[in-house]
Structure 1
Amino acid sequence: MARVSHLLLLFSVLPIAWTAMSAATAPGSTATNFIKASCGTTTYPVVCVQSLSPYASEIKQNPLQLAQTALYVSLARAQSTKTFVSNMKKFKGLKTREYEAIEDCLDEIGDSVDRLSRSVQELKDIGEAKGQDFVWHMSNVETWVSAALTDENTCVDGFAGRALDGKIKTSIKARVVNVAQVTSNALALANHYASKH
Protein backbone atom coordinates (compact mmCIF):
# COMPACT_ATOMS: atom_id res chain seq x y z
CA MET A 1 0.00 0.00 0.00
CA ALA A 2 2.85 2.38 0.86
CA ARG A 3 4.38 1.66 -2.55
CA VAL A 4 1.15 2.52 -4.34
CA SER A 5 0.84 5.80 -2.47
CA HIS A 6 4.46 6.65 -3.34
CA LEU A 7 3.73 5.96 -7.01
CA LEU A 8 0.57 8.07 -6.89
CA LEU A 9 2.52 10.88 -5.28
CA LEU A 10 5.25 10.56 -7.90
CA PHE A 11 2.73 10.64 -10.78
CA SER A 12 0.96 13.65 -9.29
CA VAL A 13 4.24 15.58 -8.90
CA LEU A 14 5.70 14.72 -12.32
CA PRO A 15 3.29 16.88 -14.40
CA ILE A 16 3.99 19.86 -12.11
CA ALA A 17 7.76 19.33 -12.39
CA TRP A 18 7.49 18.85 -16.16
CA THR A 19 5.47 22.06 -16.56
CA ALA A 20 7.98 23.99 -14.44
CA MET A 21 10.89 22.55 -16.44
CA SER A 22 9.22 23.38 -19.78
CA ALA A 23 8.53 26.92 -18.65
CA ALA A 24 12.14 27.32 -17.55
CA THR A 25 13.58 26.10 -20.83
CA ALA A 26 11.06 27.74 -23.18
CA PRO A 27 12.65 31.24 -23.15
CA GLY A 28 16.10 29.68 -23.59
CA SER A 29 15.01 27.65 -26.58
CA THR A 30 13.35 30.70 -28.15
CA ALA A 31 16.56 32.67 -27.61
CA THR A 32 18.64 29.79 -28.97
CA ASN A 33 16.43 29.64 -32.07
CA PHE A 34 16.87 33.40 -32.49
CA ILE A 35 20.66 32.97 -32.26
CA LYS A 36 20.61 30.11 -34.80
CA ALA A 37 18.46 32.12 -37.23
CA SER A 38 20.66 35.23 -36.84
CA CYS A 39 23.86 33.21 -37.23
CA GLY A 40 22.53 32.01 -40.59
CA THR A 41 23.50 35.45 -41.97
CA THR A 42 27.16 35.04 -40.97
CA THR A 43 30.11 33.49 -42.81
CA TYR A 44 30.77 30.95 -40.04
CA PRO A 45 27.32 29.98 -38.72
CA VAL A 46 28.50 26.92 -36.73
CA VAL A 47 31.18 28.96 -34.93
CA CYS A 48 28.58 31.71 -34.41
CA VAL A 49 26.05 29.40 -32.73
CA GLN A 50 28.73 27.72 -30.60
CA SER A 51 30.19 31.02 -29.39
CA LEU A 52 26.87 32.79 -28.68
CA SER A 53 24.56 30.04 -27.39
CA PRO A 54 26.04 30.15 -23.86
CA TYR A 55 24.73 33.74 -23.66
CA ALA A 56 21.17 32.95 -24.86
CA SER A 57 19.57 34.02 -21.57
CA GLU A 58 21.18 37.48 -21.85
CA ILE A 59 20.63 37.87 -25.61
CA LYS A 60 16.95 36.77 -25.53
CA GLN A 61 15.65 37.98 -28.92
CA ASN A 62 17.36 41.36 -28.91
CA PRO A 63 19.38 42.12 -32.08
CA LEU A 64 21.42 44.86 -30.34
CA GLN A 65 22.28 42.54 -27.43
CA LEU A 66 23.21 39.87 -29.97
CA ALA A 67 25.61 42.21 -31.80
CA GLN A 68 27.08 43.45 -28.49
CA THR A 69 27.60 39.91 -27.21
CA ALA A 70 29.24 38.88 -30.49
CA LEU A 71 31.67 41.80 -30.11
CA TYR A 72 32.37 40.90 -26.47
CA VAL A 73 33.13 37.31 -27.49
CA SER A 74 35.44 38.54 -30.24
CA LEU A 75 37.22 40.94 -27.87
CA ALA A 76 37.64 38.27 -25.17
CA ARG A 77 39.11 35.80 -27.67
CA ALA A 78 41.40 38.46 -29.14
CA GLN A 79 42.69 39.34 -25.64
CA SER A 80 43.25 35.67 -24.81
CA THR A 81 45.04 35.14 -28.13
CA LYS A 82 47.24 38.18 -27.51
CA THR A 83 48.38 36.60 -24.22
CA PHE A 84 48.89 33.25 -25.94
CA VAL A 85 51.01 34.77 -28.75
CA SER A 86 53.00 36.80 -26.22
CA ASN A 87 53.82 33.59 -24.33
CA MET A 88 55.08 32.02 -27.57
CA LYS A 89 57.97 34.52 -27.60
CA LYS A 90 59.34 32.80 -24.50
CA PHE A 91 59.94 29.49 -26.28
CA LYS A 92 63.59 28.50 -26.38
CA GLY A 93 65.12 27.73 -29.75
CA LEU A 94 62.94 30.04 -31.83
CA LYS A 95 64.32 30.82 -35.27
CA THR A 96 64.88 34.53 -35.94
CA ARG A 97 62.16 34.49 -38.58
CA GLU A 98 59.71 32.85 -36.14
CA TYR A 99 60.45 35.43 -33.46
CA GLU A 100 59.88 38.26 -35.97
CA ALA A 101 56.59 36.74 -37.16
CA ILE A 102 55.43 36.40 -33.54
CA GLU A 103 56.41 40.03 -32.80
CA ASP A 104 54.53 41.27 -35.90
CA CYS A 105 51.52 39.12 -35.02
CA LEU A 106 51.53 40.50 -31.48
CA ASP A 107 51.40 44.06 -32.85
CA GLU A 108 48.50 43.15 -35.14
CA ILE A 109 46.54 41.38 -32.38
CA GLY A 110 47.22 44.33 -30.06
CA ASP A 111 45.70 46.67 -32.67
CA SER A 112 42.79 44.28 -33.08
CA VAL A 113 42.12 44.27 -29.31
CA ASP A 114 42.19 48.08 -29.28
CA ARG A 115 39.75 48.37 -32.21
CA LEU A 116 37.38 45.75 -30.81
CA SER A 117 37.41 47.52 -27.41
CA ARG A 118 36.44 50.77 -29.12
CA SER A 119 33.71 48.97 -31.08
CA VAL A 120 32.24 47.44 -27.91
CA GLN A 121 32.14 50.88 -26.27
CA GLU A 122 30.67 52.52 -29.38
CA LEU A 123 27.87 49.96 -29.60
CA LYS A 124 27.21 50.46 -25.88
CA ASP A 125 26.95 54.24 -26.45
CA ILE A 126 24.45 53.83 -29.27
CA GLY A 127 21.57 53.80 -26.76
CA GLU A 128 18.59 55.56 -28.26
CA ALA A 129 20.57 57.18 -31.08
CA LYS A 130 18.51 57.87 -34.19
CA GLY A 131 19.00 59.15 -37.72
CA GLN A 132 22.47 60.45 -38.56
CA ASP A 133 23.67 59.95 -34.99
CA PHE A 134 22.87 56.22 -35.23
CA VAL A 135 24.51 55.99 -38.67
CA TRP A 136 27.66 57.69 -37.32
CA HIS A 137 27.97 55.28 -34.36
CA MET A 138 27.35 52.22 -36.55
CA SER A 139 29.83 53.45 -39.15
CA ASN A 140 32.51 53.64 -36.45
CA VAL A 141 31.70 50.12 -35.24
CA GLU A 142 31.81 48.69 -38.78
CA THR A 143 35.07 50.49 -39.61
CA TRP A 144 36.85 49.35 -36.44
CA VAL A 145 35.63 45.75 -36.61
CA SER A 146 36.66 45.55 -40.29
CA ALA A 147 40.10 46.92 -39.36
CA ALA A 148 40.38 44.38 -36.49
CA LEU A 149 39.59 41.60 -38.96
CA THR A 150 42.30 42.89 -41.31
CA ASP A 151 44.79 42.92 -38.38
CA GLU A 152 43.96 39.31 -37.57
CA ASN A 153 44.37 38.19 -41.18
CA THR A 154 47.66 40.09 -41.44
CA CYS A 155 48.96 38.18 -38.41
CA VAL A 156 48.16 34.85 -40.10
CA ASP A 157 49.74 36.03 -43.37
CA GLY A 158 52.96 36.73 -41.46
CA PHE A 159 53.41 32.97 -41.00
CA ALA A 160 53.15 32.18 -44.72
CA GLY A 161 55.82 30.01 -46.29
CA ARG A 162 57.33 26.65 -45.41
CA ALA A 163 60.24 28.13 -43.50
CA LEU A 164 57.89 28.78 -40.59
CA ASP A 165 56.09 25.41 -40.63
CA GLY A 166 55.92 23.76 -37.23
CA LYS A 167 54.09 23.74 -33.92
CA ILE A 168 54.46 27.48 -33.27
CA LYS A 169 52.88 28.42 -36.59
CA THR A 170 50.14 25.78 -36.28
CA SER A 171 49.10 26.76 -32.76
CA ILE A 172 49.17 30.52 -33.35
CA LYS A 173 47.36 30.19 -36.67
CA ALA A 174 44.59 28.05 -35.13
CA ARG A 175 43.97 30.62 -32.38
CA VAL A 176 44.07 33.65 -34.68
CA VAL A 177 41.87 32.03 -37.34
CA ASN A 178 39.25 31.38 -34.65
CA VAL A 179 39.42 35.03 -33.53
CA ALA A 180 39.07 36.13 -37.17
CA GLN A 181 35.99 33.91 -37.57
CA VAL A 182 34.20 35.28 -34.49
CA THR A 183 35.19 38.82 -35.54
CA SER A 184 33.79 38.24 -39.03
CA ASN A 185 30.57 36.96 -37.44
CA ALA A 186 30.40 39.98 -35.10
CA LEU A 187 30.75 42.29 -38.10
CA ALA A 188 27.95 40.46 -39.95
CA LEU A 189 25.64 40.65 -36.91
CA ALA A 190 26.42 44.36 -36.37
CA ASN A 191 25.70 45.03 -40.07
CA HIS A 192 22.47 43.03 -39.80
CA TYR A 193 21.41 45.03 -36.74
CA ALA A 194 22.21 48.31 -38.54
CA SER A 195 20.21 47.29 -41.62
CA LYS A 196 17.09 46.63 -39.50
CA HIS A 197 17.29 49.92 -37.63
Structure 2
Amino acid sequence: MEKIVFYLLVLVATIKCTTTAPIDFIRASCKTSLHPPLCVRCLASYADSIQHSDHHLAKAAVTVSLNDAKSAAAFVSKLARVSGLKPIEYQAVKDCISTMTNSVVSLSQSVQELEGMDRTAGQDFEWHMSNVETWVSSALTNQNICSEGFGVDGRVKDVVTKRMVYVSQVTSNALALVNRFAVNHRKGIHKP
Protein backbone atom coordinates (compact mmCIF):
# COMPACT_ATOMS: atom_id res chain seq x y z
CA MET A 1 0.00 0.00 0.00
CA GLU A 2 2.83 2.40 0.84
CA LYS A 3 4.34 1.83 -2.61
CA ILE A 4 1.04 2.74 -4.28
CA VAL A 5 0.74 5.94 -2.25
CA PHE A 6 4.36 6.79 -3.06
CA TYR A 7 3.81 6.25 -6.81
CA LEU A 8 0.63 8.32 -6.73
CA LEU A 9 2.47 11.17 -5.03
CA VAL A 10 5.25 10.97 -7.62
CA LEU A 11 2.67 10.94 -10.40
CA VAL A 12 0.86 14.00 -9.00
CA ALA A 13 4.16 15.86 -8.54
CA THR A 14 5.18 15.01 -12.11
CA ILE A 15 1.88 16.26 -13.51
CA LYS A 16 2.17 19.52 -11.56
CA CYS A 17 5.72 20.05 -12.82
CA THR A 18 4.87 19.38 -16.46
CA THR A 19 1.62 21.36 -16.60
CA THR A 20 2.12 25.02 -17.40
CA ALA A 21 -0.24 27.84 -16.72
CA PRO A 22 -1.84 29.59 -19.70
CA ILE A 23 0.25 32.71 -18.99
CA ASP A 24 3.40 30.60 -19.41
CA PHE A 25 2.06 29.45 -22.78
CA ILE A 26 1.49 33.09 -23.74
CA ARG A 27 5.01 34.08 -22.63
CA ALA A 28 6.59 31.23 -24.59
CA SER A 29 4.49 32.00 -27.67
CA CYS A 30 5.22 35.72 -27.53
CA LYS A 31 8.95 35.01 -27.80
CA THR A 32 8.33 34.58 -31.55
CA SER A 33 7.11 38.18 -31.82
CA LEU A 34 9.16 41.34 -32.31
CA HIS A 35 7.85 42.89 -29.08
CA PRO A 36 7.52 40.07 -26.50
CA PRO A 37 6.84 42.17 -23.36
CA LEU A 38 4.08 44.12 -25.14
CA CYS A 39 2.70 40.86 -26.52
CA VAL A 40 2.44 39.30 -23.06
CA ARG A 41 0.99 42.47 -21.55
CA CYS A 42 -1.72 42.70 -24.23
CA LEU A 43 -2.72 39.04 -24.04
CA ALA A 44 -2.42 38.29 -20.32
CA SER A 45 -6.05 39.17 -19.63
CA TYR A 46 -7.11 36.59 -22.25
CA ALA A 47 -5.16 33.74 -20.60
CA ASP A 48 -8.26 31.88 -19.39
CA SER A 49 -9.82 31.80 -22.85
CA ILE A 50 -6.51 31.07 -24.61
CA GLN A 51 -5.43 28.22 -22.34
CA HIS A 52 -2.82 26.37 -24.47
CA SER A 53 -4.44 26.88 -27.88
CA ASP A 54 -2.47 28.44 -30.74
CA HIS A 55 -5.77 29.12 -32.48
CA HIS A 56 -7.27 30.98 -29.51
CA LEU A 57 -3.98 32.84 -29.00
CA ALA A 58 -3.91 34.04 -32.63
CA LYS A 59 -7.58 35.05 -32.47
CA ALA A 60 -7.03 36.98 -29.21
CA ALA A 61 -3.96 38.74 -30.65
CA VAL A 62 -5.83 39.84 -33.76
CA THR A 63 -8.79 40.94 -31.63
CA VAL A 64 -6.49 43.08 -29.47
CA SER A 65 -4.98 44.56 -32.62
CA LEU A 66 -8.45 45.29 -34.01
CA ASN A 67 -9.53 47.04 -30.81
CA ASP A 68 -6.35 49.15 -30.76
CA ALA A 69 -6.73 50.00 -34.45
CA LYS A 70 -10.34 51.10 -33.88
CA SER A 71 -9.23 53.28 -30.98
CA ALA A 72 -6.41 54.81 -33.04
CA ALA A 73 -8.78 55.41 -35.97
CA ALA A 74 -11.22 57.21 -33.67
CA PHE A 75 -8.37 59.27 -32.24
CA VAL A 76 -7.19 60.33 -35.70
CA SER A 77 -10.78 61.14 -36.73
CA LYS A 78 -11.03 63.51 -33.76
CA LEU A 79 -7.79 65.17 -34.84
CA ALA A 80 -9.37 66.04 -38.19
CA ARG A 81 -11.87 68.22 -36.31
CA VAL A 82 -9.21 70.17 -34.42
CA SER A 83 -8.94 73.76 -35.51
CA GLY A 84 -5.60 75.26 -36.35
CA LEU A 85 -4.20 72.35 -38.37
CA LYS A 86 -1.96 73.38 -41.23
CA PRO A 87 -3.34 72.31 -44.62
CA ILE A 88 -0.57 69.72 -45.03
CA GLU A 89 -1.33 68.32 -41.56
CA TYR A 90 -5.04 68.21 -42.31
CA GLN A 91 -4.41 66.28 -45.53
CA ALA A 92 -2.10 63.83 -43.71
CA VAL A 93 -4.76 63.29 -41.04
CA LYS A 94 -7.43 62.69 -43.72
CA ASP A 95 -5.14 60.19 -45.48
CA CYS A 96 -4.45 58.51 -42.14
CA ILE A 97 -8.20 58.16 -41.50
CA SER A 98 -8.53 56.38 -44.84
CA THR A 99 -5.64 54.00 -44.21
CA MET A 100 -6.81 53.27 -40.66
CA THR A 101 -10.31 52.53 -41.93
CA ASN A 102 -8.74 49.99 -44.29
CA SER A 103 -6.70 48.59 -41.40
CA VAL A 104 -9.81 48.12 -39.25
CA VAL A 105 -11.63 46.39 -42.11
CA SER A 106 -8.70 44.01 -42.69
CA LEU A 107 -8.45 43.12 -39.01
CA SER A 108 -12.23 42.65 -38.74
CA GLN A 109 -12.11 40.24 -41.67
CA SER A 110 -9.23 38.40 -40.00
CA VAL A 111 -11.13 37.94 -36.73
CA GLN A 112 -14.15 36.63 -38.64
CA GLU A 113 -11.99 34.26 -40.65
CA LEU A 114 -10.29 32.95 -37.50
CA GLU A 115 -13.68 32.29 -35.85
CA GLY A 116 -14.33 29.05 -37.70
CA MET A 117 -10.80 27.88 -38.36
CA ASP A 118 -10.76 25.33 -35.59
CA ARG A 119 -13.06 23.24 -37.80
CA THR A 120 -10.93 23.42 -40.96
CA ALA A 121 -8.11 21.26 -42.26
CA GLY A 122 -6.06 20.69 -45.40
CA GLN A 123 -6.69 23.01 -48.33
CA ASP A 124 -9.57 24.71 -46.50
CA PHE A 125 -7.21 25.61 -43.65
CA GLU A 126 -4.56 26.89 -46.07
CA TRP A 127 -7.06 29.10 -47.89
CA HIS A 128 -8.47 30.61 -44.71
CA MET A 129 -5.00 31.04 -43.18
CA SER A 130 -3.73 32.74 -46.33
CA ASN A 131 -6.61 35.21 -46.06
CA VAL A 132 -5.82 35.97 -42.41
CA GLU A 133 -2.09 36.38 -43.05
CA THR A 134 -2.76 38.68 -46.00
CA TRP A 135 -5.29 40.82 -44.14
CA VAL A 136 -3.22 41.21 -40.97
CA SER A 137 -0.18 42.09 -43.08
CA SER A 138 -2.28 44.61 -45.02
CA ALA A 139 -3.50 46.15 -41.76
CA LEU A 140 0.10 46.54 -40.61
CA THR A 141 1.06 48.16 -43.92
CA ASN A 142 -1.82 50.65 -43.63
CA GLN A 143 -0.79 51.54 -40.08
CA ASN A 144 2.77 52.19 -41.24
CA ILE A 145 1.53 54.30 -44.15
CA CYS A 146 -0.42 56.43 -41.71
CA SER A 147 2.71 57.01 -39.59
CA GLU A 148 4.83 57.89 -42.58
CA GLY A 149 2.26 60.20 -44.19
CA PHE A 150 3.19 63.26 -42.16
CA GLY A 151 5.74 65.27 -44.12
CA VAL A 152 5.88 68.14 -41.67
CA ASP A 153 7.41 67.80 -38.23
CA GLY A 154 5.35 69.03 -35.37
CA ARG A 155 3.04 68.13 -32.54
CA VAL A 156 0.38 66.48 -34.75
CA LYS A 157 2.97 64.24 -36.41
CA ASP A 158 4.47 63.31 -33.03
CA VAL A 159 1.11 62.41 -31.49
CA VAL A 160 -0.08 60.37 -34.47
CA THR A 161 3.27 58.64 -34.95
CA LYS A 162 3.43 57.64 -31.29
CA ARG A 163 -0.07 56.14 -31.48
CA MET A 164 0.61 54.38 -34.79
CA VAL A 165 3.90 52.92 -33.62
CA TYR A 166 2.08 51.30 -30.68
CA VAL A 167 -0.72 49.94 -32.91
CA SER A 168 1.84 48.68 -35.43
CA GLN A 169 3.76 46.85 -32.72
CA VAL A 170 0.57 45.18 -31.47
CA THR A 171 -0.37 44.20 -35.04
CA SER A 172 3.15 42.95 -35.73
CA ASN A 173 2.84 40.72 -32.67
CA ALA A 174 -0.56 39.49 -33.90
CA LEU A 175 0.94 38.62 -37.29
CA ALA A 176 3.75 36.68 -35.62
CA LEU A 177 1.22 34.68 -33.57
CA VAL A 178 -0.97 34.06 -36.63
CA ASN A 179 2.10 32.76 -38.46
CA ARG A 180 3.00 30.61 -35.44
CA PHE A 181 -0.50 29.14 -35.43
CA ALA A 182 -0.18 28.33 -39.15
CA VAL A 183 3.23 26.68 -38.77
CA ASN A 184 2.19 24.63 -35.73
CA HIS A 185 -1.04 23.56 -37.44
CA ARG A 186 0.90 22.40 -40.49
CA LYS A 187 3.32 20.47 -38.27
CA GLY A 188 0.39 18.77 -36.55
CA ILE A 189 1.03 20.57 -33.26
CA HIS A 190 -2.42 22.13 -33.58
CA LYS A 191 -4.29 22.57 -30.32
CA PRO A 192 -7.95 23.57 -30.70
TM-score (norm: length of structure 2): 0.84
Asked if structure 1 preserves the Cα contact closer than 8 Å seen for 2:55 and 2:118, the reply is: no
CA distance in 2, matches of 1:69, 1:127: 14
SS in 2 for 1:111: helix
1:124-183 Cα shifts (integer Å, max 9, x gaps): 1213111000000000000111111110001011014xxx22221111111111111111
CA distance in 1, matches of 2:150, 2:154: 10
CA distance in 1, matches of 2:117, 2:29: 20
CA distance in 2, matches of 1:121, 1:48: 21
Which residue pairs with 2:139 in the alignment?
A: 148
Structure 2 residues without counterparts, runs of 5 or longer: 1-19, 186-192
SS in 1 for 2:119: coil
Q: CA RMSD in A?
A: 1.3
Q: Post-superposition shift, 1:119?
A: 0.4
SS in 1 for 2:118: coil
Which residue pairs with 1:93 in the alignment?
A: 84
Residue 194 (structure 1) aligned to one of 177, 182, 186: 182
Which residue pairs with 1:45 in the alignment?
A: 36
1:56-114 Cα shifts (integer Å, max 9, x gaps): 11111111110000000000000010000000011111000000000000100000000
Counterpart residue type for residue 98 of structure 1:
E
SS in 1 for 2:85: coil
Pairing 1:76–2:67 present: yes
CA distance in 1, matches of 2:62, 2:127: 18
> Which of the pair has more CA radius of gyration?
1
SS in 2 for 1:127: helix
1:33-56 Cα shifts (integer Å, max 9, x gaps): 111100000011111011111111
Residue 158 (structure 2) aligned to one of 166, 170, 190: 170
Q: How does 1:16-35 map to 2 (within 5 A)?
A: 30-35=21-26
Asked if structure 1 preserves the Cα contact closer than 8 Å seen for 2:144 and 2:168, the reply is: yes
Structure 1 residues without counterparts, runs of 5 or longer: 1-28
Runs of 4+ in 1 over 3 A off after TM superposition: none
TM-score (norm: length of structure 1): 0.82
CA distance in 1, matches of 2:35, 2:78: 28
Identity of aligned residues (%): 49
